[in-house]
Amino acid sequence: MKAEKNYEFRQRLLTVHQAGRRDKDLLPLPDELSLDDSREILIPLDADRVLRR
């Protein structure tokens, strides 16, 4: 096990999105959906606050 300084693990927790994990050359499978800049996600004005956040 690697020794780490006190609270060093917190830096890993702060990294939500790791760079270089996405292969932009891959195409979605027939049962998958790709969200890119050409798509819009519409949320109704009366949607629950959980959805609006």
Write out 30-43 in H/E/C secondary structure. CCCCCCCCCCCCCC
Give whole-number Cα distances, 30 to 2, 17, 21, 27, 33, in Å.
42, 26, 22, 9, 8
- pTM (2 decimals)? 0.38
pLDDT digits (tens, 9 = 90+) for 1-53: 788 889 888 988 888 888 888 888 999 999 998 888 898 999 999 999 898 88
